[in-house]
C-alpha cells in the first residue's frame, strides 16, 4: 500500500510549494545540531533554534538527516526520496534506530514538514499584521475530538489560546491557522465567528506532561514564535528567485557545521537522482528551473579554488544550469565523434556522478578562461572504473557560483 503521508493535503502543499519563511525557519536551525538520546531532550521553543532527531547522536548522521530534511523542505522532495536518503545514512553510520522503518521515517518527515510550515506561517501572519486568527481542522480520517471542537474558531491574534494551541498540536496533526482582517471574513473560509471557545480549553493534563487537553506532550507552544522576526528577515533575502531559496539555506550557518552539511547534502542519493533528472529534463526539453544547486563549497574547496584562480569564492555553490547541459550534449553527446577522441558520449546518467566529482576529485586544476565571456575556469577530474569524468566549472562572481560549463568522459587505455 502506498504511504499516505504525501497525500495529506497540508503536507502535500508544503512539499510542492515551499515558501521562503518556511525554508528560512529551518535554515536558522542548522547552526545548532543537537545529539539526543530521546525526543524529550529538546522540547517546545527549543525546536525553534535547533535541529534534532530522537536517538541521533553521531555528528555525520545528524548532519545527513538535517541536509535530507532541508532538501525536502526547500526543493519539494517526496517521502520516497527522503526514505532513500535515510536508508543510505543508516548504512553509512550503522545507526540502530528504534521503531519500524516506514513509521519512523514518516514521523521524521511529517514532523519537520508540519513544524517548519507552521513556523513559516507564524512569521507570515505576524508580518501581515492580522487582527484575528482562525483555527482550521486538517480533515484527518481519525480526528482528535478537541481539534474538531476548535475548527472554525476565531479569536484575536493576541489571545493566549494561540500561545499553546497553534498547530501542529501533536504527532500527525495537520491543522492550521488562517489570518483574518475581520471576524466576519471567517464565513467564506468555512469558519464561524460566533463560535465560543470551549470551556476548560486551558486545563492541563498530567498524562501529557502538563499540556492542555487535546495537545500531545511537548506540542503546547507556537512554532517559530521565538524567531519570527529573524525568519522574516532571512526570508526577504531569499525571495528573489527559486534558485536563491534552494542554495541559501547554509550561508548563515557556522563554518564547521556548514562544511559538514554541504558534504552530507552531496552524499544524499536524492541529490544524485535530482541532478540526473534535471539533465534528463533539459535534454527532453521539459520545463526546468534555470539552475540546480549542488550545495555550497566547503572551506577546503574554497581555499583550493581561490589559490588556483586568485578569486574569493567564499559562500559560492556548485551549480548546474540548462545551458551547460545543452552545450555538453552538443559538444560531447555524439558516440561516433567522441570515440574518435578517445572518449565516450556523455549521457544524462553521468550527471548523477557530479556530487562525487566535486566532493572527492582526483585532481583540480586551472582551466584558463572561457573563450565566450572571459570568466575563469576550473577543471575537476575523477576516475570511475575505466573512465575519467571531467567537469569544467566557470566562476560566476555575480551569481556566486561555480557553474558547470562542460562535462565529458575520457576512456582510460588499459
Task: Evaluate if residue 5 carries a pLDDT over 70.
Answer: no
Give 413 or 12, the one with higher predicted confidence: 413
**207 pLDDT band (50/70/90 cuts)?**
confident
Number of domains in the chain: 2
Residues 396 and 284 reside in one and the same domain: yes
Are 228 and 280 in a shared domain?
A: no
CB 31 within 8 A of CB 125: no
Asked if 277 and 203 sit in the same domain, the reply is: no
Predicted confidence band of residue 245 (pLDDT cuts 50, 70, 90): low
Residue at 122 is within a domain: yes
Distance between CA atoms of residues 186 and 133, nearest Å: 9
Interatomic CA distance for residues 368 and 114, integer angstroms: 48
Write out pLDDT tens, residues 328-374.
999 999 999 999 999 999 999 999 999 999 999 999 999 999 998 99
What is the residue range of 79's domain? 5-237
Q: Point out the domain boundary residue: 195, 215, 237.
A: 237
Does residue 133 sit within a domain? yes
Q: Exposed/middle/buried for 44, CB within 10 Å: 0-12, 13-18, 19+?
A: middle
Residues 284-299 have pLDDT tens digits of 998 778 889 898 999 9
- Are 156 and 18 contained in the same domain? yes
Sign of dihedral through CA atoms 156, 161, 166, 169?
Answer: negative
Phi, psi angles (nearest 5°) of residue 14: -65, -45
For residue 1, is pLDDT > 60? no
Q: Where are the alpha helices (DSSP H) in 94-209?
A: 101-128, 145-150, 161-165
Residues 275 and 226 in one domain: no
Q: Is 385 domain-assigned?
A: yes
pLDDT grade for 76, boundaries at 50, 70 and 90: confident
Q: Are residues 193 and 84 in the same domain?
A: yes
The mean pLDDT value for 130-134 works out to: 96
| 112 close to 15: Cβ distance less than 8 angstroms | no
Asked whether residue 214 is assigned to any structural domain, the reply reads: yes
Same domain, 231 and 127: yes
Domain match, 127 and 41 both: yes
383 touches 362 (CB < 8 A): yes
For residue 245, tell me if it sits in a domain: no
**Would you say residue 249 has pLDDT above 70?**
no
Q: Which residues contact 205 (CB under 8 A, 6 or more apart)?
A: 211, 212, 213
Q: Which of 348, 197, 184 is nearest to 282 (CA)?
A: 348
Residues 88-111 have a mean pLDDT of: 95
DSSP 33: B
Answer with the one of 193, 217, 237 that is the final residue of a domain. 237
Is 134 within 8 Å of 195 (Cβ atoms)?
no
Final residue before a domain boundary, out of 188, 216, 237: 237
The Cα 181–Cα 354 span in angstroms is 49
228 and 96 housed in the same domain: yes
Q: Is residue 257 part of a domain?
A: no
DSSP calls for 298-335: PHHHHHHHHHHH----TT-EEEEEHHHHHHHHHHH--H
- pLDDT average, residue stretch 225-229: 90
Sign of CA dihedral 182, 187, 191, 195: positive
Domain co-membership, 181 together with 301: no
Q: Give the DSSP letter of residue 250.
A: G
Residues 159 and 29 in one domain: yes
What totals of helices (H) and strands (E) does the chain contain, helices first?
15, 12
Residue 311 lies in a domain: yes
Q: Is residue 242 part of a domain?
A: no
E-assigned strand segments in 209-316: 211-212, 291-296
pLDDT at 51 over 60: yes
User: CA-CA distance, 57 to 298, in Å (whole number)?
Assistant: 23
Q: Are residues 233 and 274 in the same domain?
A: no
pTM attached to this predicted model: 0.83
3-state secondary structure of 377: strand
Amino acid at each position: 500500500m502506498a504511504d499516505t503521508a504525501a497525500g495529506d493535503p497540508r503536507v502535500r502543499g508544503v512539499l510542492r510549494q515551499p515558501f521562503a519563511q518556511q525554508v528560512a525557519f529551518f535554515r536558522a536551525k542548522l547552526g545548532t545540531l543537537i545529539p539526543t538520546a530521546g525526543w524529550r531532550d529538546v522540547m517546545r521553543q527549543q525546536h525553534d533554534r535547533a535541529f534534532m532527531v530522537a536517538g541521533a547522536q553521531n555528528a555525520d548522521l545528524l548532519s545527513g538527516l538535517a541536509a535530507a530534511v532541508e532538501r525536502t523542505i526547500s526543493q519539494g522532495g517526496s517521502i520516497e526520496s527522503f526514505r532513500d536518503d535515510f536508508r543510505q545514512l543508516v548504512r553509512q553510520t550503522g545507526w540502530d534506530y528504534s521503531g519500524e522503518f516506514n513509521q519512523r521515517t514518516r514521523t521524521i518527515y511529517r514532523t519537520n514538514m508540519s513544524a517548519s510550515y507552521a513556523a513559516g506561517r507564524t512569521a507570515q501572519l505576524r508580518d501581515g499584521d492580522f487582527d484575528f486568527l482562525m483555527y482550521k481542522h486538517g480533515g484527518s480520517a481519525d480526528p482528535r475530538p478537541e481539534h474538531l471542537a476548535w475548527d472554525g474558531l476565531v479569536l484575536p491574534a493576541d489571545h493566549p489560546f494561540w500561545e499553546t494551541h497553534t498547530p501542529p498540536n501533536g504527532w500527525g496533526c495537520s491543522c492550521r491557522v488562517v489570518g483574518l482582517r475581520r471576524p466576519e471574513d471567517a464565513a467564506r473560509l468555512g469558519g464561524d465567528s460566533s463560535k465560543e471557545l470551549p470551556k476548560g480549553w486551558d486545563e492541563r493534563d498530567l498524562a501529557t506532561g502538563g499540556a492542555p487537553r487535546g495537545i500531545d506532550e511537548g506540542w503546547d507552544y507556537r512554532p517559530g514564535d521565538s524567531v519570527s522576526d529573524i525568519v522574516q528577515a532571512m526570508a526577504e533575502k531569499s525571495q528573489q528567485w527559486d534558485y536563491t531559496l534552494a542554495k541559501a539555506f547554509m550561508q548563515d550557518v557556522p563554518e564547521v557545521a556548514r562544511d559538514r552539511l554541504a558534504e552530507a547534502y552531496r552524499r544524499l542519493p536524492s541529490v544524485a537522482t535530482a541532478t540526473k533528472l534535471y539533465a534528463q529534463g533539459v535534454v527532453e526539453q521539459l520545463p526546468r528551473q534555470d539552475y540546480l544547486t549542488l550545495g555550497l563549497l566547503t572551506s577546503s574547496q574554497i581555499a583550493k579554488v581561490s589559490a588556483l584562480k586568485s578569486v574569493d569564492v567564499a559562500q559560492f555553490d556548485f551549480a548546474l544550469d540548462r545551458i551547460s547541459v545543452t552545450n555538453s550534449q552538443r559538444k560531447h553527446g555524439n558516440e561516433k565523434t567522441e570515440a574518435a577522441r578517445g572518449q565516450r558520449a556523455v549521457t544524462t546518467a553521468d550527471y548523477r556522478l557530479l556530487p562525487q566529482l566535486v566532493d572527492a576529485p582526483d585532481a583540480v586544476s586551472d582551466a584558463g578562461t572561457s573563450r565566450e565571456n572571459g570568466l575563469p575556469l576550473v577543471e575537476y577530474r575523477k576516475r570511475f572504473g575505466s573512465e575519467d569524468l571531467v567537469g569544467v566549472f566557470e566562476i560566476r562572481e555575480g551569481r556566486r557560483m561555480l557553474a558547470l560549463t562542460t562535462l565529458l568522459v575520457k576512456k582510460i587505455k588499459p
